[in-house]
Amino acid sequence: MPPSAPMDRRTEHITTDYLVIGGGVAGLRAAIELGRSGEVLVVTKAEPTESSSEYAQGGVAVALSDEDEISIHYEDTLKAGDGLCIRRAVKTLVEEGPMRIRELMVWGAEFDREGAKLAFTQEAAHSKRRILHAQGDSTGREIMRVLIDKVRSTGKAVKLDFAFTVDLLLSRGRCCGAVVLQEKLGKTLIISAKAVVLATGGAGQLFERTTNPLVATGDGMAMAFRAGAALLDMEFVQFHPTALYRPGAPQFLLSEAMRGEGGKLLNARGIRFMDAYHQARELAPRDVVTRAIHTEMAKTGDDHVFLDMTHLSTDYVKTRFPRIYATCQEYGIDITATPIPASPAAHYIMGGVRTDAWGRTTVPGLFAAGETACTGVHGANRLASNSLLEGLVFGERAGLAAARYAAGPQGKKRPVPAPSLRHARSSANKPLSTGARERMRVELKRLMWEQVSVVRDRKTLAAALRRLQAWAKELKNAPFESKALELRNMVTTALLITRSALLRENSVGAHYRSDFPGKGKTWRKRIVLEK
């Protein structure tokens, strides 16, 4: 049962064929597919373009160049995943990826070109130049533009923005809708649907330093867990090596492509250091580069390193990275003349709601795609620029599977009407004040950054778990307000990450335990959490 609604809030019942929660690449691609067979309601908690997809700079990885092959992309993905990728999911990603990109271009996507040919760049752990980009460093924005236009053109999809999904609704063990809060309008919506697709993105906002937008608070993972769905590999959080480090400036992502195009990493003493950590230097896998930076900062006692682009042509840097150049200029940094202060930041979670290759979760009627989901395609460490491709490929597949489910025996039965929300609230636990909740949010982000971050150990993980459990108890009776409910989701997802990190007593991919620095004998095990 979802939290109780205040007496003065209007409750409305809505029925649709399909409910998509989340408006990034995966959610929109699912909505396009679902629109072919019924009415679709797409719910987002902020404005239409606010998602990690919109901020994706580097590009989208796909084997389309003359020098590349699907089999090479497959091997690169497996290698980056450090032995924990689910091979059939990777095979699906790299084989169907080219079709999804060609489809985007038919729909109007304009990727950068060199003459008549598509322009490709290289990023860390890729053995070929296979990264497509748009407007230099605005690839996510271009893909989102095309998908939003396509969703509108179907005439079957309705978008509901600034609407916070509180919880999923179940009927006889299957998902049949959700409770959605439109706080500014004073409305609570009970939405019934034949099938539900979760595509709420990641959980970077759980950490003090992150490249993720404000909406990335782990909502979908927390909701799915409360609904009884299994979650997989939650300990694997990828920390991007290079985010802008400047007091008063946003933690702006300094794209992997900057190192792919020749950017060098220097420590605070001006020494290039990646030679000491990996033969691929700046193009080593992300987890290796991130830990190298972490080690260098510890050695020098500094809180950042530098990404140096000054040896490259000024015109080339401005043309290739216009958005990054302009943003750094705003904060007094000319990246063509001065090395850029940078340090790691939480960027992507490889774990999530457990799904098969068709987005099916362990709860009938509930599907998931994109960063919210875990198909196992990324293993223990995502290969750079595979995320946009993942959203396109598995968003389409989740849409197809949800439509098939709705056409089957279970989907044909209209969902049992959702129960009305309770209007009475138990006064056993006094709800936290707004100020107390804001303090908890700040403390949560600091706790996760300091104790469940790049380097972990049993003592700090156990201490973090105890603190999170205490906060979860305090938030049990969270007020029916979006910020309070969002904080509840953050604590739930933080608990899942921390518990998984404590259970994995080895180091693999992005998960590094200083008390268990090697892979050990049990490193191939998967950690599955269920309510």
Q: What is the CATH number of the domain that holds 473?
A: 1.20.58.100
- Among 347, 367, 387, give the residue marking a domain's end: 347
Co-location of 405 and 298 in the same domain: no
Q: Tell me if 7 is assigned to some domain.
A: no
pLDDT recorded at residue 530: 95
| Model pLDDT, residue 414 | 59
Same-domain status, 328 and 280: yes
Q: Are residues 67 and 120 both part of a single domain?
A: yes
Q: Do 206 and 73 have their domain in common? A: yes
Task: Specify the number of domains making up the chain.
Answer: 3
Task: Give the CATH number for residue 373.
Answer: 3.50.50.60
| 8 Å CB contact between 421 and 179 | yes
Inter-CA distances, 91 with 96, 273, 359, 360, Å: 8, 35, 15, 18
Contacts of 371 (CB under 8 A, 6+ apart): 24, 26, 52, 201, 202, 348, 349, 352, 387, 391
Q: Cα dist. 313→302, 325, 335, 336 in Å?
A: 29, 13, 11, 8
Report yes or no on 9 lying in a domain.
Answer: no
**pLDDT 10s digit of each residue in the chain, 531 long?**
455 555 456 899 999 999 999 999 999 999 999 999 999 999 999 876 554 544 445 589 999 999 999 999 999 999 999 999 999 999 999 999 999 999 999 999 999 999 889 999 888 788 999 999 888 667 888 999 999 999 999 888 999 999 999 999 999 899 999 999 999 999 999 999 999 999 999 999 999 999 999 999 999 999 999 999 999 999 999 999 999 999 888 888 898 889 988 999 999 999 999 999 999 999 888 888 999 999 999 999 999 999 999 999 999 999 989 989 999 999 999 999 999 999 999 999 999 999 999 999 999 999 999 999 999 999 999 998 999 999 999 999 999 999 999 999 877 665 554 444 443 333 344 677 889 899 999 999 999 999 999 999 999 999 999 999 999 999 988 889 999 999 999 999 999 999 999 999 999 999 999 999 999 999 999 999 998
133 lies in the same domain as 220: yes
The single residue of 100, 259, 281, 286 carrying the catalytic annotation is 286
With both helix axes pointing from N to C terminus, report the angle between 87-106 and 387-407 in degrees, rounded to the nearest 10: 90
The two three-digit tokens of residue 331, written as one number: 């904060």
Q: What pLDDT was estimated at residue 247? A: 87
Domain that holds residue 85: 16-236+350-412
Q: Same domain for 455 and 525?
A: yes
Beta partners for residue 353, in sequence order: 231, 373
Q: Are residues 129 and 217 in the same domain?
A: yes
Residue type, 508: V
pLDDT for the residue 4 = 53
Same domain assignment for residues 59 and 163: yes
Check whether residue 250 and residue 283 sit in a common domain.
yes
What one-letter code names the amino acid at 420? Answer: S
Question: Is residue 286 annotated as part of the catalytic site, yes or no?
Answer: yes
**pLDDT for position 341:** 96
Task: Indicate whether 134 and 255 sit together in one domain.
Answer: no
Give me the pLDDT at residue 492, please: 98
Provide the pLDDT for residue 3.
Answer: 56
| pLDDT value at residue 478 | 83
* Count of Cβ atoms closer than 10 Å to residue 417 Cβ: 14
Give long-range contacts, CB 8 A cutoff, 24+ apart: 145-152. 146/104, 146/107, 146/108, 146/109, 147/25, 147/28, 147/29, 147/32, 148/28, 148/48, 148/49, 149/107, 149/108, 150/28, 150/32, 150/107, 151/28, 151/31, 151/32, 151/35, 151/42
pLDDT at 30: 98
Q: Do 185 and 36 sit in the same domain of this protein? A: yes
d(C-alpha 367, C-alpha 396), whole Å:
12
How far apart, in whole angstroms, are the C-alpha atoms of residue 415 and residue 399? 19
